[in-house]
Structure 1
């Protein structure tokens, strides 16, 4: 009887384990939504996440939203996750929405984010924020920023409003990332002066011979605006959808990886898929403890789906 009881107990344990392994997330977790300000680096990280999620049986949607709208969308539950929480640049937004979202993890370190100029402008003597005013006419008293409402633009405007570095008559030109970079390309082609917000990772570091300016620590922090990027979600999302939450908590990236993905001419998802296929060892870390939507181990399924792409 004792042996029979042990056998029965073992079978019961096996059945329970199998049931847990096959348990799927709630149906409302099947569609996962992301915010993207239109930045190529966030396009790359979103591309990684959506590629993995689709292979795991989820549906995904990425919404192009400005940073302010993106945070508001997290608050009202229209967006599940944002993988582009640049810190400390977005500190004001985090203070405002701290009760409406959860910080999942830091997904990238070693980031640069401050003003930059073409190398020939740097060589002409513009090496620090304090050098800008000396060349006001050459710059046409303009600093090219990113999308309207971005915290970095607000920092630059504050710098102008307080007449820091003698820039009181200057103007911040707000535009989307691609429009700003198009302006940089046109200006560089003519060997004219331009100063603009720049960051790494980004293809601009390869496409342009640029130099980051010193002296902006008060506004962008030390080490050329050295920053970290975090993944945040709407409040309580990881508890509601723990499997997606686990994946997001596993996703950590590197500068080299992101530069390689965003430097591709392919769309973000395809570029991400190709990068993962050439670096399959990363999946062991990213998918540890993660299942497919229907509860199966994710690693084998994802590798299979990637091989079909």
Structure 2
């Protein structure tokens, strides 16, 4: 067969395909899939349920949500290579050294702070706070009651390292104290026993976490910012690959606007991880009961079919 005729035939087929709207199939390798969102999800309870709440919002809008489970450093590397689109659990300053080099290289974009009120620090039973213990500056006065012991989590963890440094540097008069370290579950079990028995205990606390709901506890003030900037405050950022932001401004807008407070995320974690409730049901129940704040996150955002996202979600949860 004449090669020129063959080439004309192929060109004709391509033009026909384009006219019929099938050109995306021919050039799929070079075209971003705007309706698919890959969320990088480290194996932490807060990161898991928050990512699933986002998925429960986007799926009814016609978007295909995929969860990529990996450690935080792998998630950040994957974002930099556009193998993952978004991550909702970038803690700063704790993990900044892992993702900021990619931000400076313009491979990752910081879309904003998705969680407010994230803190960590020394924690006590609430009855002790009501009796007057509210600040780390007072800890030395309670050495006998606490048996000069801080209960903390695994060696090598951020909290463990902070306590070790505090003892080494005699911060807040803790120089003669010692640390009893164990797993997070074991530490919180010990804290729960003490709280239930109305006994003093000093342990490592943080929020968001189910402990803030399940335990009658309080995190002490940290005037020296031993636990982080501004008295133990942390930023939890939404990161996205630069390619995702460039090719999907509509979804990037949603992720820029998505923000939840620490108390709400603690409730999610409490229901999903502590009470062992189905994650999808936890997400759907919360969204159905909070359509107004969710509508704020979706302001100006379109569903996959081009309709206003807030109206589409409202119709889905309240048909």
Report if TM-score (shorter chain) is over 0.5.
yes
Greater Rg by CA: 2
Q: Residue 103 of structure 1 corresponds to which residue in structure 2?
A: 110
CA–CA distance in structure 2, aligned partners of residues 236 and 174 of structure 1: 42
1:34 aligns with 2:45: no
1:80 aligns with 2:88: no
Aligned pairs for 1:108-257 (under 5 A) are 108-120=115-127, 122=129, 127-130=134-137, 132=139, 135=143, 138=146, 141-145=149-153, 150-164=157-171, 165-167=173-175, 170-171=178-179, 173=181, 175-176=183-184, 178=185, 180-215=187-222, 217-221=224-228, 224-257=231-264
The residue matched to 2:38 in structure 1 has which SS?
strand
User: Structure 2: where are the runs of 5+ without partners?
Assistant: 1-20, 22-30
1:287 aligns with 2:305: no
How far is the alpha carbon of 1:237 from its aligned partner? 2.6
How far is the alpha carbon of 1:51 from its aligned partner? 0.6
Q: Residue 3 of structure 1 corresponds to which residue in structure 2?
A: none
CA deviations 1:104-126 (Å, max 9, x no partner) are 01223333322211235557886
The residue matched to 1:299 in structure 2 has which SS?
helix
Q: Residue 51 of structure 1 corresponds to which residue in structure 2?
A: 56
Q: Point out the more displaced range, 147-156 or 284-293.
A: 147-156
CA deviations 1:78-123 (Å, max 9, x no partner) are 5432222333444444545533522101223333322211235557
Check 1:214–1:285 CA distance in 2 against 1; reply closer, same or farther (3 A cut): closer
Check 1:218–1:224 CA distance in 2 against 1; reply closer, same or farther (3 A cut): closer
Q: Which has the higher contact order (CA 8 A, sep 6+)?
A: 1
The residue matched to 1:217 in structure 2 has which SS?
coil
Q: Residue 301 of structure 1 corresponds to which residue in structure 2?
A: 312
TM-score, normalised to structure 1, is: 0.71
Partner of residue 287 from structure 2, selected from 273, 276, 296: 276
Check 1:260–1:124 CA distance in 2 against 1; reply closer, same or farther (3 A cut): closer
Indicate the RMSD between aligned Cα atoms, in angstroms: 3.8
Q: Point out the more displaced range, 258-267 or 229-238.
A: 258-267
User: Structure 1: where are the runs of 5+ without partners?
Assistant: 1-18, 20-24
Q: Point out the more displaced range, 99-108 or 61-70.
A: 61-70
CA–CA distance in structure 2, aligned partners of residues 79 and 148 of structure 1: 31
The residue matched to 1:281 in structure 2 has which SS?
helix
Count residues in correspondence.
Answer: 283
CA–CA distance in structure 2, aligned partners of residues 129 and 163 of structure 1: 12
CA–CA distance in structure 1, aligned partners of residues 252 and 112 of structure 2: 10
CA deviations 1:110-160 (Å, max 9, x no partner) are 333222112355578865435556637945744313x77654444334334
